Amino acid sequence: MSIRDNLITQITTNLSGHSQFGISTELPFSTSDTPLYMKNMRTVFVDELQEDVTELYPVLDGNDVMQTESTCVAYLAVDAKNQPTDIQTVVANLLVARNGVTAGIRASDVTTELEDDVILYNIEYNFTTV
The whole-model pTM stands at 0.90
- pLDDT at 1 exceeding the cut of 80: no
**30 pLDDT tier (thresholds 50, 70, 90):** confident
Query: Could you confirm whether domain 3-58+65-129 is CATH 3.30.420?
Result: no
pLDDT digits (tens, 9 = 90+) for 77-126: 999 999 999 999 999 999 999 999 998 999 999 999 998 899 999 999 99
* CA distance linking residue 30 with residue 39, whole number of Å: 10
pLDDT digits (tens, 9 = 90+) for 58-83: 888 878 888 899 999 999 999 999 99
**16 pLDDT tier (thresholds 50, 70, 90):** very high
In the chain, where the domains are located: 3-58+65-129
The mean per-residue pLDDT over the stretch 53-58 comes to: 85
Give the other-Cβ count within 10 Å of 115's Cβ. Answer: 10
Query: Taking a C-beta distance cutoff of 8 angstroms, is the pair 107, 69 a contact?
Result: no
- Helices 3-14 and 87-95, packing angle to 10 deg: 150
